Structure 1
Amino acid sequence: MKFAYHNHQSEFAKVEGISAYDYILTNTNKKEVYMELDLAWAFLAGMDPVEMFKQYPGRFPLWHVKDIDPATNRPCPVGAGKFDFKRVYENSKQSGVTHTFIEQDGAKTIDDPAASVKWLKSNIYS
């Protein structure tokens, strides 16, 4: 059995010089504990996912993929916000990603996640 931890923004705040996120990654067995990285919340916390991949290679087999609206700082369809997905996907091998999940917090209709699928198919998986 393996454990995967899903983040929000708060896990990146430092307490006594270390974030909860770094504490988990540096104090757990990399063969048993993985991260289910929510790219958007990490980005909003000021983190660079590519740098995280370099620091902790192979620890991010699961990604939650959503974008952030620049006007509201709330989730929006992938490709409609301010997150640089192309750069992250270009560096995905180092992360160890095996599964990605489109997550659309606050979606009003099925059209929001459908727009994310369309953008990813056209820009990442084409």
Structure 2
Amino acid sequence: MENINLQLYSFGHDCNLSAVEKIKCAAEMGYSGVEFAQDYKDVPVEVIKKALSEAGIKAVSAHVPFEMMGEHLPYLAELGVKFVACPMTSFCDAEEAKEVAAELNKWGNEAKKYGITIGYHNHTQEFNKDQDKYLYDWVIENTDPETVAFEIDCGWASAAGIDPVEYINQHAGRIAAIHIKENGAVIGPDKASSRKNPPEWPKFELDEDGKPIFPPEFIKMMQERDKLNVPTGSGIVDWRTVKAAADAQRDGVIYVVEREASYDGKSRIDCLKEDVAWLKANV
């Protein structure tokens, strides 16, 4: 596999690298492009363009919440980004899934002015069912194929109990991007939350350095989730068949490595180096 991109979120919340430094580091690790997660906040677009040019890599995609789409689309278009996905949102039934689809269609029409396709990126909760159909299906089937496509996070999908290859084939033509996130086990879908009462990220007390103090039960939960992030090639996803299925259904599919946690006591950067090296050698 060539043209492997990196979701910059993968550097982790405790990473001290600037957006420019992340771009440079991604290139040095062997990635050919990046997917932004608002890393460029407060950075002039000319600075990011220069960093990309000097690193010799491209800005291929980005994650932007619905409420920020209007503000970010012009900036991302100037960087040459062609695919922008909402990273997640709350919806718990078919009715709310159709509301999400309407939001995607709205932004798809707006993004078309910039030559950008709008999309959505899944976690596990999208694979709860209503009326014997996955919530994600309700979204996909009610969006405009001309302006809206989807990013299948194969790690979260497989964790929910979904075969990514089957799901890609079921929605052939609609999958514009693949998140390569290795996963070691099936945990089932998280409970879906309603748009009417979306969950809030828990707030924690801060220590003297301004870092959050996590309670033991939260740490245990995160540690269990982190165990799912095994080395690429050692989990339950067959990346060769994923790539074959994705390439067969649409031209120009974007492949993006995303890592939620490190493994074996290694640094995040060492893990990301091993991810891209394994993919280049084996897929």
Deviations, residues 11-47 of structure 1 (Å, cap 9, x unaligned): 0110232222000111111111111110111111121
Amino acid in the other structure paired with 1:33: V
Q: Higher Cα Rg: structure 1 or 2?
A: 2
- Of residues 255, 259, 264, the one that matches 1:100 is 255
Post-superposition shift, 1:98? 1.9
Corresponding residue to 2:132 among 10, 13, 17: 17
Matched, 1:27 2:142: yes
Letter in 2 for 1:103: E
**1:59-98 CA-partner distances (Å, limit 9, x unpaired):** 111111011135x651223113222112212222234252
Q: Give the deviation of 1:114 after TM superposition.
A: 0.8
Q: Does 1:122 align with 2:237?
A: no
2:238 pairs with 84, 100, 108, which one?
Answer: 84
* 8 A Cα contact 1:5 1:34, kept in partner: yes
Q: Residues of 1 paired with 2:256 and 2:181: CA distance?
A: 9
Structure with higher strand content: 1
Corresponding residue of 1:64: 179
- Partner residue of 1:5 out of 107, 112, 120: 120
Instruction: Supply the distance in 2 between the matched residues of 1:83 and 1:56 (Cα, whole angstroms).
Output: 18
- Residues 169 and 245 in structure 2, CA contact (< 8 A), matched pair in contact too: no
Structure 2 portions without partners, runs of 5+:
1-110, 112-116, 186-223
Change (3 A) 1:82 1:49: closer
Which runs of structure 1 show a deviation greater than 6 angstroms over 4 or more consecutive aligned residues? none
Shift of 1:123: 0.3
Aligned sequence identity (%): 33
Query: Which sections of structure 1, spanning at least 5 residues, go unmatched?
Result: none
CA distance in 1, matches of 2:253, 2:158: 20
| Equivalent position amino acid for 1:105 in 2 | E
The CA distance in 2 between the partners of 1:89 and 1:56, in whole Å, is 15
Moved more, 86-95 or 31-40: 86-95
Q: Give me the whole-angstrom Cα distance separating, in 2, the residues matched to 1:34 and 1:66.
A: 19
The alignment status of 1:49 with 2:164, answered yes or no, reads: yes
SS of corresponding position for 2:152: strand
What secondary structure does 2:175 align onto? coil
Q: How far apart are residue 120 of structure 1 and its match?
A: 0.3
Task: Provide the residue aligned with 2:209 in structure 1.
Answer: none
Q: Is the 8 A contact 2:123 2:153 kept in 1?
A: yes
